[in-house]
């Protein structure tokens, strides 16, 4: 899989960890039989229980080596279990201007338009915004805006932040299944089927935003902090083990950096890090 790297202005080949197992689950008849059990959140809870046990410590170094996780600055002996390692904290900074839109997670980013009818077409799957977020949220401000898809791979830092200062208007948790968020699962329309938390934000510089954490296969939990008011770059929460995705829905008035849109149109995701500039307020002139 090729990923666009903004800093080097080139494409990099990124390994897909667990690709063979996913092909078996999604592309073979025996695999699809097992898939029904694999996407049950109870399986992820069982997996999470093991990863919070001291026995799981032995998995940390092999996983870090296999997935290329940089552990510089961490004392691995201080992790009591695999989950401690996977949800490890670090200090995040940004050099972006105060009114810039920033990346909220270390991830692979793609950008998709929201139609005036509030329809999203992400890769080969078509969604209405209403079926993604459920009821109880006014979606009118997002007509004609953009949906930013931050896809976190298992090797990524799995904590995420708020894109701007502001306050939480409402938050809704929607239980569901736990399909992988990779392209192999496109026909399953995962963003409308997977477990997710939909949070309506009122932000200082950009107005209303929707931040939606989407659980994926083997994700033990989506863990959001109980806050009402927040600062830009403040940690919103974290995912337990597994690759996951965050959708950020922004109004039409938010301008997304052109290179991100262009790479999505070419069929490539762009690698971004927390705090990196990805857009800003549209110039009214």
* pLDDT tens for the chain, residues 1 to 285: 788 999 888 998 876 655 555 454 445 656 544 545 555 556 666 666 788 899 999 999 998 998 888 888 899 999 999 999 999 999 999 999 999 999 999 999 999 999 999 988 877 778 888 988 888 889 999 999 999 999 998 888 999 999 999 999 999 888 765 444 444 335 555 766 778 899 999 999 999 999 999 876 555 578 999 999 999 999 999 998 766 889 999 999 999 999 999 999 999 999 999 999 999 987 654
Tokens standing for 196?
Answer: 């997710």
Structure confidence at residue 62 (pLDDT): 92
Q: Are 166 and 175 in contact (CB under 8 A)?
A: no
Residue 142 lies in a domain: yes
Structure confidence at residue 184 (pLDDT): 37
Residue 185 lies in a domain: yes
Residue 53 lies in a domain: no
Structure confidence at residue 22 (pLDDT): 46
Tokens standing for 39?
Answer: 């996407």
Half-sphere exposure in the Cβ direction for 203 (13 Å, CA): 31
Tokens standing for 277?
Answer: 């500039």
Structure confidence at residue 177 (pLDDT): 58
Q: Which of 57, 51, 157, 176 is nearest to 107 (CA)?
A: 157
pTM (two decimals) = 0.84
Q: Are 68 and 61 in contact (CB under 8 A)?
A: no
Q: Which of 16, 1, 19, 27 is nearest to 188 (CA)?
A: 27
Rounded distance between C-alpha atoms, residue 11 and residue 23, angstroms: 24
Structure confidence at residue 231 (pLDDT): 98
Q: Give Cα separations from 161 to 85, 135, 230 (angstroms).
A: 19, 25, 10
Tokens standing for 105?
Answer: 């997670």
Residue 263 lies in a domain: yes
Residue 173 lies in a domain: yes
Residue 249 lies in a domain: yes
Q: What is the residue whose two structure tokens read 């810039």?
A: 100
Which residues are known to be catalytic?
Answer: 106, 244
| Helix axes 29-38 and 19-27, enclosed angle (nearest 10) | 100
- Residues 175-230: tens digit of each pLDDT: 765 444 444 335 555 766 778 899 999 999 999 999 999 876 555 578 999 999 99
Residue 130's domain comprises 100-281
Residue 138 lies in a domain: yes
Residue 259 lies in a domain: yes
Structure confidence at residue 106 (pLDDT): 96
Number of structural domains found in the chain: 1
């Amino acid at each position: 899989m090729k990923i666009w790297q903004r800093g080097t202005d080139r494409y990099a080949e990124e390994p897909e960890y667990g690709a063979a197992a996913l092909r078996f689950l999604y592309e073979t008849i025996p695999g699809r039989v097992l898939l029904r059990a694999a996407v049950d959140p109870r399986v992820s809870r069982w997996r999470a229980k093991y990863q919070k046990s001291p026995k799981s410590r032995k998995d940390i170094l092999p996983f870090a080596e296999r997935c290329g996780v940089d552990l510089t600055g961490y004392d691995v002996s201080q992790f009591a279990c695999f989950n401690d390692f996977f949800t490890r904290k670090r200090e995040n900074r940004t050099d972006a201007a105060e009114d810039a839109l920033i990346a909220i997670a270390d991830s692979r980013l793609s950008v998709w338009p929201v139609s005036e009818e509030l329809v999203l077409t992400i890769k080969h799957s078509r969604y209405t915004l209403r079926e993604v977020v459920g009821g109880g949220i006014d979606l009118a401000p997002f007509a004609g805006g953009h949906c930013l898809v931050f896809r976190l791979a298992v090797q990524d830092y799995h904590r995420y932040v708020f894109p701007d200062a502001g306050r939480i208007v409402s938050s809704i948790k929607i239980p569901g299944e736990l399909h992988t968020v990779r392209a192999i699962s496109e026909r399953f329309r995962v963003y409308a089927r997977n477990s997710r938390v939909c949070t309506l934000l009122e932000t200082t510089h950009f107005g209303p935003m929707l931040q939606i954490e989407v659980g994926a296969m083997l994700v033990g939990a989506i863990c959001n902090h109980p806050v009402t008011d927040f600062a830009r770059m403040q940690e919103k929460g974290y995912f337990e083990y597994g690759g996951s995705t965050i959708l950020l829905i922004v109004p039409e008035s938010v301008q997304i950096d052109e290179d991100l849109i262009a790479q999505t149109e070419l069929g490539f995701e762009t690698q971004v890090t927390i705090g990196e500039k990805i857009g800003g307020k549209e110039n009214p002139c």
